[in-house]
Chain A
Amino acid sequence: MKILVPVKRVVDYNVKVRVAADGSGVETQGLKMSLNPFDEIAVEEAIRLREKGVATEVVVVTIGVQAAQDILRTSMAMGADRAILVKTDDTLEPRAVANALKAIVEREQPGLVCMGKQAIDDDMNATGQILAAKLGWPQGTFASAVTVADGRIEVAREIDGGTEIVSLALPAVVTADLRLNEPRYASLPNIMKARKKPLEMLEAADLGVDLASRLTIVSVAEPAERKEGIKLGSAAELVEKLKTEAKVI
C-alpha cells in the first residue's frame, strides 16, 4: 500500500507573528518557516506504518511556493520515500487545496491519505474532510491511534470527553491529532541522504482543477492585550472587586 501525506509549509511554531499594519493578514516575510507540526505527525505515522510492513511507500506532497521544497526534504529526511511539489505562488483555500490533492490522489492511487488535522497558520481544519468528500472516501479525523488490518483502518478519534473508535474501509483519509505519535528527529545522515531522494515538481495550473478562491478575509486583528493582574490581600477584597469592578457577581 502506498500512503500519500499532504504537508503544508507554515510559520514556525516558535515564531511570534504580527498582524500587518493594514490588517490584511500576518506578516510572514523573513520569518522562519517549517513543516506544519500536525503534518509532521502524519509523516511520522506513515513512516511507522511502512516500518511495520503495512505500507510499502510514503509519498509527501505540498502545494506552495518553490521554497516549500524545504519541508519536503525534511519529510524525506524523516523517512518519506519521495516528494511532489505542486507549485503555485497563490495562497489557496482548503477547497482549492482539496481539488489539487484529489488530482494527485487520482494520479498516485494511494491506499491511504494521512495528513495533519489542521495547519497552525489558519487553523481551518477543513482540507482533510473536503478531500474525503470529493474522493467519496471514508474519513477518520483527529486520530490518536491507527491500526491497519484486512483492508480496513481502525482509527481512535479524539472527541469531547473520550475516544471514539471508527473502522473505515480503505482507501480512506485520516487526519492526525497531537497524541498520535511523537515525531522522530531528522538526523544529519538522513538529511544528507534526503537530498538525493526524488522530488518531482508540477505546476498547479497544469492539474486542470478549480483553484479559485471563494473566501474573503475581511480583517485580521491581534487579540486584545491582557491587562496586568494585581495581587489582593484577602478573599473579602476579591469578592468586593468582583462585585464593584468586574461586576460578575
Chain B
Amino acid sequence: MTQIEREEMEFDVVVVGGGPAGLSAAIRLRQIAPDASVCLIEKGSEIGAHIVSGAVIEPRSLEELLPDWRSLGAPLNTEVTEERMLFLTEKRAIQIPYLDRVMPHMANHGNYVVSLGEVCRWLGEQAEALGVEIYPGFAGAELFIENNRVAGVITGDMGIERDGTHGPNFTPGMILRAKQTILTEGARGSLSAHAMKRFGLRKGVDTQTYGLGIKEVWEIPKEKHRPGLVQHSFGWPLDDHTYGGAWLYHFGENLVSYGFVTGLDYSNTYLSPFEEMQRTKLHPAFREHFEGGKRLIYGARALSEGGLQSIPRLTFPGGVLAGDSAGFLNVPKIKGTHTAMKSGMLAAEAVAEALQTERTEASSLTERVRNSWLWSELRDVRNIRPAFAKWGMKAGALYAGIDSMILRGRAPWTLHHPHADNETLRPAALCEQIDYPKPDNVLTFDRVSSVFLSATNHEENQPVHLKLRNESLWRTVNHDVFDAPESRYCPAGVYEQEKSADNGWSLRINAQNCVHCKTCDIKDPTQNIEWCTPEGSGGPNYPVGM
C-alpha cells in the first residue's frame, strides 16, 4: 500500500483512553503542570460510552485528586447502607457472618454505589475545565515510534471499505505527537500490549489473568428499592473450581446494577459466562429484586485479575502504563476505580517530572507506586485470588479469611499465576455439558436482545475487526478439540459456528455485535483471534446509569 499522508499535531502528553485512570492522569497533569498541553483520545463515541463497572467505589483517590468533589457535583449520590456476602447453593443463600472481620477488604463503609460511566463523564468535564483537550470517537490504532521510543500515537483511519480499499469518505488517521504517552486503555489494551511486547515490560512478572464482567442495569418498582444495598455472592451456579460471583447494588432512582464476573481461567469449555449471569438471577436471593422490574442496559468488559504479581514494568521510553492497562484492580476488594485513579495520578506526577527534566522515560513512576498506599493495598491481598485458583472456591475463601485475619496480608510467601487464561480450557471430551435454562424473557434473556440494549454499532462497511489469524487452526483446535468455546464465552454473540459449503464447520464472525470486552483476545486457546481496533466511535454506546 502507498504511504498515507498524515497530519500531525504536537502535545506534551497524549493520554489514550478516557476511563478513570486516563482522566485522573489528565486532570493531575494540568493541576501540577498547567503549561503542559494534554490531549486525551477515547475510542467510544463519547466519554463513558465504553465504561462498564459495578460499581461500588472508594472515594479515596477522588478525595486526593479533587478534594472539592462534593461541591463540584461529582455523581456519587448513593452511599453504601447495607451489605452482605452470600454463599449460594442451588436453593439457599448462606450469609457470611462478621463480614468486616472475615473479609475486611470487603467492608464498604463510606463507599458509594455509582454509575462509573456517569462518574467518567463528570471527570471529563473537570478535565476539560482544566484545559485538557478531549477527543472522543478516535481510537489509538498504533503507537507512533521514532528513534526507538514512543513519540505519540496514530489515530485510526476512517472510511476504509470492507475489502481494505479507501472509500469515498476515507479520512486518514492523524499522528498525535507527544513527549510522553500515557496508556490507560483498560484491561488488555491493544497499544499497551504492543508497548509491553516491544519494550519487554512483562519480563520477570507473572502472566496477566482476567475475569469477564457482564452487567445489566434494571429499573425496579420504587417500593422494592433500597438505595445503598450491596450484595455479593459466590458458590452456585459455578462449580468449586471456577472463580466468580454475582453483584447486586441498589442505586440512583430505582436502579439496580446487577452483574456477574467469571474468572477467565475457567476450564470447562462448555461454561458460558453469559448464561451463568442470566441464571443467577433466578436464585431466590436475587430473583425478588428483579420481579416487576425492567431491564434497561446491558454490557460486558474483561478486567485484570492478576494483581500485584502481574503488574508489568510501568515505564518505557516515551510513555507509561496506568490503570487496568497495567492491571491495578484489587480483586478481593472487587474494586478497581480508586486504584486506577491513583495509578493515573502517580503516572501524571512521574510524567510531569520527566517533562521538566527532559527525560525520555518517566522512571520515577515505579518508585512512586511502590511508596504509595496503592502498592501496600495490592501487596496485602496479593495471595487471595491465586489461592482461589489453586485450591478452589471454598478452600480459597478459607485461605482468604486466614490471610486477612491472621496473616493480615503479610504472609512471607507469594502465590503465583501458573497459567495464562488461554491455557486452562480442557478438551470438550473431558468436560461436562451444562444444561442452561432457556430465557424466559422476563428475568432472563438471550444474547441478541441483550446486545440490543448495549446500543452497539459499528460502521458497517469497515473491514472486520476480529479476524482468525489461521482459519484451519480454528477448525482443528477450536472446533474439533474444544467445540467452539468462543460461541459461549463471547457475551455479544459475535461468534457462531456454522456448516460451511464443504460440509465442514466454519466460524461466522458477527463483528458488528462486538461490545469491546476483549474476552476472545484473552481466552482463545491458541490466541488465534486478532482483535484490531475498529473505526472510532464504534462499539457500545452505554448511557448514563452504566
Q: Which residue of B lies closest to A18 (CB)?
A: B296
Q: Is the CB of A32 within 8 A of B46?
A: yes
Q: How many A-B residue pairs have CB under 8 A?
A: 58
The stretch that binds A, out of B167-175, B270-278, B409-417, is: B167-175
Q: Considering the chains assembled together, what is the distance between the CA atoms of A191 and B133 in angstroms?
A: 11
**B403 interface hit (Cβ, 8 Å):** no
**A154 interface hit (Cβ, 8 Å):** no
Per-residue interface assignment for chain B, residues 161 to 204, with 1 indicating a CB less than 8 Å from any chain A CB and 0 otherwise: 00000001101111010000000000000000000000000000
Q: Which residue of B lies closest to A190 (CB)?
A: B171
Question: Please, could you name 22 A-B residue pairs with CB atoms under 8 Å apart, sorted by A?
Answer: A14-B455, A14-B457, A14-B541, A15-B543, A16-B453, A18-B296, A30-B545, A31-B543, A31-B544, A182-B169, A184-B169, A184-B171, A185-B169, A187-B158, A187-B171, A188-B7, A188-B9, A188-B176, A189-B7, A189-B174, A192-B133, A228-B441
Q: A31-B544, A185-B159 are in contact. Are A16 and B169 (CB under 8 A)?
A: no
- Minimum CB–CB distance from B442 to chain A (whole Å) comes to 12
Q: Is the CB of B543 within 8 A of A189?
A: no
**A234 interface hit (Cβ, 8 Å):** no
Q: Is the CB of A32 within 8 A of B45?
A: yes
- Minimum CB–CB distance from B95 to chain A (whole Å) comes to 33
Q: Is the CB of A188 within 8 A of B46?
A: no
- Minimum CB–CB distance from B201 to chain A (whole Å) comes to 28
Q: A16-B453, A192-B9 are in contact. Are A185 and B171 (CB under 8 A)?
A: yes
Collect the chain A residues with CB atoms within 8 Å of residue B453's CB: 16
Q: Is the CB of B135 within 8 A of A188?
A: yes
Per-residue interface assignment for chain A, residues 182 to 200, with 1 indicating a CB less than 8 Å from any chain B CB and 0 otherwise: 1111011101100000000
Collect the chain A residues with CB atoms within 8 Å of residue B524's CB: none
A148-194 CB contacts (< 8 Å) to partner B:
182-185, 187-189, 191-192
**A12 interface hit (Cβ, 8 Å):** yes
Collect the chain B residues with CB atoms within 8 Å of residue A219's CB: none
Collect the chain A residues with CB atoms within 8 Å of residue B173's CB: 188
Collect the chain B residues with CB atoms within 8 Å of residue A188's CB: 7, 9, 135, 138, 155, 173-174, 176
Residues of A in contact with B (beta carbons under 8 Å apart): 12, 14-16, 18, 29-32, 182-185, 187-189, 191-192, 228
- Minimum CB–CB distance from A199 to chain B (whole Å) comes to 16
Q: Is the CB of B135 within 8 A of A30?
A: no
- Minimum CB–CB distance from B516 to chain A (whole Å) comes to 14
Q: Which residue of B lies closest to A182 (CB)?
A: B169
Interface of A is mostly: loop
Collect the chain B residues with CB atoms within 8 Å of residue A12's CB: 45, 455, 541
Collect the chain B residues with CB atoms within 8 Å of residue A29's CB: 544
Q: CB within 8 A of B541: which of A18, A32, A184, A191?
A: A32
Q: CB within 8 A of B455: which of A16, A185, A192?
A: A16
**B49 interface hit (Cβ, 8 Å):** yes
Per-residue interface assignment for chain B, residues 448 to 462, with 1 indicating a CB less than 8 Å from any chain A CB and 0 otherwise: 000011011100000
Q: Considering the chains assembled together, what is the distance between the CA atoms of A192 and B14 in angstroms?
A: 14
Q: Is the CB of B452 within 8 A of A16?
A: yes
Collect the chain A residues with CB atoms within 8 Å of residue B9's CB: 188-189, 192
Chain A CB within 10 Å, residue with most, of B173, B441, B452, B455: B455
Collect the chain A residues with CB atoms within 8 Å of residue B349's CB: none
- Minimum CB–CB distance from A223 to chain B (whole Å) comes to 15
- Minimum CB–CB distance from B171 to chain A (whole Å) comes to 4
B407-453 CB contacts (< 8 Å) to partner A:
441, 452-453
Q: Is the CB of B174 within 8 A of A182?
A: no
Q: CB within 8 A of B49: which of A18, A32, A189?
A: A32
B105-131 CB contacts (< 8 Å) to partner A:
118
Q: Which residue of A lies closest to B75 (CB)?
A: A30
Q: Which residue of B lies closest to A34 (CB)?
A: B45
- Minimum CB–CB distance from A201 to chain B (whole Å) comes to 18
Collect the chain A residues with CB atoms within 8 Å of residue B441's CB: 228
- Minimum CB–CB distance from B204 to chain A (whole Å) comes to 38
Q: Considering the chains assembled together, what is the distance between the CA atoms of A188 and B543 in angstroms?
A: 24
Q: Considering the chains assembled together, what is the distance between the CA atoms of A16 and B543 in angstroms?
A: 10
Q: Which residue of A lies closest to B456 (CB)?
A: A14
Q: Which 5 A-B pairs have the closest CB atoms?
A: A30-B544, A14-B457, A189-B7, A185-B171, A187-B171
Collect the chain B residues with CB atoms within 8 Å of residue A18's CB: 296
Collect the chain A residues with CB atoms within 8 Å of residue B172's CB: 187
Q: Considering the chains assembled together, what is the distance between the CA atoms of A182 and B176 in angstroms?
A: 27
Q: Which residue of A lies closest to B545 (CB)?
A: A30
- Minimum CB–CB distance from A99 to chain B (whole Å) comes to 32
- Minimum CB–CB distance from A129 to chain B (whole Å) comes to 30
- 15 further A-B pairs in the complex, CB-CB below 8 A; given A184-B169, A185-B159, A188-B7: A12-B541, A18-B296, A30-B545, A32-B46, A32-B49, A32-B455, A182-B168, A182-B169, A185-B169, A185-B171, A188-B155, A189-B7, A192-B9, A192-B133, A228-B441
- Minimum CB–CB distance from B243 to chain A (whole Å) comes to 33
Q: Is the CB of B158 within 8 A of A185?
A: yes
Q: Considering the chains assembled together, what is the distance between the CA atoms of A189 and B279 in angstroms?
A: 48
Q: Considering the chains assembled together, what is the distance between the CA atoms of A31 and B48 in angstroms?
A: 11
- Minimum CB–CB distance from A226 to chain B (whole Å) comes to 12
Q: Which residue of B lies closest to A13 (CB)?
A: B457
Collect the chain A residues with CB atoms within 8 Å of residue B541's CB: 12, 14-15, 32
Collect the chain B residues with CB atoms within 8 Å of residue A189's CB: 7, 9, 174
Q: Is the CB of A30 within 8 A of B543?
A: yes
Per-residue interface assignment for chain B, residues 128 to 161, with 1 indicating a CB less than 8 Å from any chain A CB and 0 otherwise: 0000010100100000000000000001001100
Q: Which residue of B lies closest to A70 (CB)?
A: B46
